Amino acid sequence: MDIPAMRKSFAKAAAHGDDAPLWFYSHLFLTHPETRDLFPVSMAHQRDRLFAALGDVVHYVDDVDRLVPMLQQLGRDHRKFGTVAAHYPAVGASLLATLEHFDDDWDDDLATSWTEAYGVVADVMVEAAEKAADEPPWWDADVVAHERRTVDVAVLQVVPRERFEHVPGQSVSLETQLRPRLWRYYSIANAPRPDGVLELHVKARDGGPVSTALVRSATVGHVLRFGPPMGRLALDPESDRDLLLVAGGTGLAPLKAVVDQVARQGPLRRVDLVVGARTEDAFYDREDLQRLEQAHSWLTVTLAVSEDPGSSLEQGVAGEVAARHGPWTSREVLVAGPGVMVDDTAARLLRDGVRQERIRTEVFAPSRPGPDVDGEVRE
Amino acid sequence: MTPDQDPVPTRPDDRRPTPADVRAVAFTAAGMLHPGYDAADVEKFRALVADELARSAAERERLRAQVRALEGQLAGVVPPEPPSEQAVRILAVAQQTADQYVAEAEDFSRQMTSDARAQHQEQLRAARESAGAIIQAAHEAAARMVSSGDAPPVAEDADPERAREEVAYLKAFGQAVRVQLRSYLEALITDVETEWGQASPAAARQAPVRTPAQRAEGAPTGPLNVVAEVPPPDSAEPGRAGSDGVEVSGRRR
């Protein structure tokens, strides 16, 4: 394997920007039309992702310790798309054809190097997928309840058809047939229950295809497809420290799951939940939070509004209000919500003396801004 | 044996030796000067070669037949040709067109929802402001009415008789208010003295002092019908100021 030559040939293709992955996919769909079903209608974002991933592989090709875990995770993740071992040679062939097309100095040696390298990559991914074969590649889940709580936010209750185990605080990537082959991450808002029901809080983003479909078009009886659960925002199983949970917007979902975990599994401890919103009518889960607060003496819920001076609730952003009720130096802190809110909250708490390792955060953001009409995806 | 002579006579190149040729070849007799091969060895070897050739030819025929059969099987399956550059280009353009449509649709949707949300918030804000303004206006009107409520509305046309009547009324009213106020204040002062007395027992009088109301009723009850309860100066309670003559029950002693 002549790695420098391979990197050079890849750079030549990458220099053509969007044209290279565009060529790659067109070649793949022509030679293997059955693969078109594995991809969404609009491929603009997919192209970016593919070549970024390939770039990473090429960059780390001689750093096996870094590359192999990456590839193994990719191989496992690809199961939910319906990828099987037979797809890999087709992809390899189209990859070589693409590289050849953009490289005038392509020769047989390069072809051999690339074939060898791709073979190694594919083997790692296929093997990782096969190792994970004891759990299903995806879970079909039926929507059993759909409540439109505000203009933008809906709360869905779904039941997976097969056993689905998750740790409270984790999220799941899901797909709806209303927008085929577009996968988005949502946090599960409850701990595992005997009836298997999972609660999802969905906020419709402007121009977002999946979130708007879930809020406005999904109904009871609709079927979603779940990938495996993932995420690191979870309680430390060793500790029974008191908790401070700060939520902004739909960041409430994973923190509500943590509250549910404390209620169901214990150990009991004091939990202070601060939920922030812009205005009072933006609290989409107020009733349920009040019910929880009344049912559990160890739980305190504080609602904070940042742009509603006429409201009787506490005024200020979530971080400000949380800090006001401090000190929280003895507590474990979990923060979830939009990026600005999370950063602000963490900064305030650190200033007040909470230790960095006690604060864990998760940022909720739109999966992507849509591509504009020139096909450019701007972050 | 040393093969320093070519035993097979040369033939035209396009004819490959068959087993029959090997068997039938006639070697020229060796001369006295050139030592020849042992005839029996050569015959034996010739037979060997002829057999081998026959066997190879038979195997070749068999393989040829098998290949023909397999080719016949594959006749229905056409191996895919690599796509032409033009085909790939056409598909790429089609994909870009699809991407364009989706991007336009998403852009439109995003603009619509953000415009709708901005309008909704603007309307809410305007409604809140005007509601606030209405409430404010109502408060001011009420305040105005309260401050000017004691005096009866003065008639525009100055009727002297009427004016005198009004003046008399006002005087009587003022007198009544002063009397009421005095008795209330006296009651309060007594109340305060009693409280102070309890706070410092040394200065306390032996018998509890009764307020005028208590004296009137002859029963040890607290002050009733006070307009507002004024807490003692050293009390930590926040003052509960009644407004507009709210009746507050007094403390029982």
Say yes or no for a CB contact (<8 Å) between B132 and A30.
no
Please tell me which of the candidates A41, A372, A373 has its beta carbon nearest to residue B98: A41
Please give the single-letter amino acid code of residue A286: R
Over chain B (253 residues), the average pLDDT of each successive run of 10 is: 46 67 77 77 86 90 89 73 87 92 88 87 87 90 83 58 85 83 79 64 52 56 46 46 42 43
What radius of gyration, in Å, describes the C-alpha atoms of chain A? 24
Q: Which residue of B has its CA nearest to A209?
A: B106
Nearest chain B CA: its distance from A35 CA (Å): 14
What proportions of chain A, in percent to the nearest 5, are helix, strand and coil?
45, 20, 35
Please give the single-letter amino acid code of residue A4: P
Please give the single-letter amino acid code of residue A36: R
Degrees, nearest 5: CA angle A246-A230-A68: 130
User: What are the tokens at A33?
Assistant: 């039309």
CB A241 within 8 A of CB A269: yes
A302 inside 8 A of chain B by CB: no
* Per-residue pLDDT, A345: 95
A86 inside 8 A of chain B by CB: no
* Per-residue pLDDT, A46: 83
Please tell me which of the candidates A19, A29, A206 has its beta carbon nearest to residue B110: A206
Cβ-based contacts under 8 A for chains A and B? 78
Please tell me which of the candidates A19, A207, A279 has its beta carbon nearest to residue B109: A207
Q: Beta strand A243-248 with A271-277: parallel, antiparallel or unpaired?
A: parallel
- Rounded to 10 deg, the angle between the A108-131 and A87-102 helix axes is 150
Residue in A53, A117, A126 with CA at minimum distance from that of residue A88: A126
Over chain A (379 residues), the average pLDDT of each successive run of 10 is: 86 88 92 90 83 80 84 87 89 91 90 89 92 90 95 95 93 91 93 95 90 93 92 84 94 96 90 94 94 95 90 92 91 94 95 92 78 40
Nearest chain A CA: its distance from B121 CA (Å): 10
Residue B113: CB partners within 8 Å, gap ≥ 6? A204, A206, A207, A212
Distance separating alpha carbons of residues A307 and A290, to the nearest angstrom:
22
Residues in A closer than 8 angstroms to B92, CB to CB, are: 19, 22-23, 26
Please report the sign of the dihedral spanned by the C-alpha atoms of residue A347, residue A353, residue A354, residue A356: positive
b/e A315-331 (16+ beta carbons within 10 angstroms → b): eebbbbbbbeeeebeeb
Q: Which residue of B has its CA nearest to A20?
A: B92
Please tell me which of the candidates A31, A207, A373 has its beta carbon nearest to residue B100: A373
What radius of gyration, in Å, describes the C-alpha atoms of chain B? 66
Its pTM surpasses 0.80: no
Nearest chain A CA: its distance from B146 CA (Å): 27
Residues in A closer than 8 angstroms to B120, CB to CB, are: 151
